[in-house]
Structure 1
Amino acid sequence: MLRYTLMRLGIFAGCLVVVWGLVYSGIVPRGLGNSNGMWVVLLSLVISAPISFVVLRKERDRASVQVVRRVDRMKANLDANRSQEDGADDATRAQGQTS
């Protein structure tokens, strides 16, 4: 998961550098008024999102498999804890009925 996040940040940083260069060279408009910095960041986000979606498809699939495994493991642990609690409750009730 960390690898996927770092790869996404890398693609964003690359797009940020390219967009910054295009804006300051005059190829891309500078934005309105004092919004130049925000313009560069937003344009970089818009460009990097589809690139990440296409380029990181395999890495995203690997990350989703890891997330599914963690969720399944957590569900199994919760079910095990629940069954232990139910067993303890049943034992306590059984002792209360015999006393």
Structure 2
Amino acid sequence: MLRYTLMRLGIFAGCLVVVWGLVYSGVAPRGLGDSNGMWIILLALVLSAPISFVALRKERDRASEQIVPKVERLKARIEADRSQEDEAVDEAARAQGASS
């Protein structure tokens, strides 16, 4: 997962450098007023998202394979806790019904 995140940040950094160069060379439009820095970051984000989606497909699949077992274990643990709570509530209801 860390590897995927670092690769994604690397792609963003590369896009940021390219966009910065294009804006300051006059190829891409500048932002309005003082928004030039924000414009560059936004444009780099918009460009890096589809590039990451395509270029990091295999790495994303690997990260997902690592996460799925953890999520399944967490779901099983939550379900076990839930069933224990249900049993406790049922026992309390039976005890209350027996004393009435």
How far apart are the structure 2 equivalents of 1:36 and 1:88?
61
Q: Within 5 A, what are the aligned runs for 1:10-89?
A: 10-81=10-81
Whole-angstrom CA distance in 1 between matches of 2:60 and 2:68: 12
Aligned residues: 98
Normalised by the length of structure 1, the TM-score is 0.77
TM-score by length of 2: 0.77
**Kindly, what percent of the aligned residue pairs are identical?**
77
Letter in 1 for 2:67: V
Give the residue type in structure 1 aligned to 2:18: V
The alpha-carbon deviation at position 29 of structure 1 amounts to 1.1
Aligned counterparts of 1:89 and 1:49: Cα–Cα separation in 2: 48
Deviations 1:26-74 (A, max 9, x none): 1111121111001100000010000000000011111112221111111
Q: Identify unmatched segments of 5+ residues in structure 2.
A: none
Measured in 2, the distance between the counterparts of 1:21 and 1:39 equals 13
> 1:84: Cα distance to partner?
6.4
- Is 1:8 the counterpart of 2:8? The answer is yes
Query: Any gaps of 5 or more consecutive residues in structure 1?
Result: none
SS at structure 2 position matched to 1:35: helix
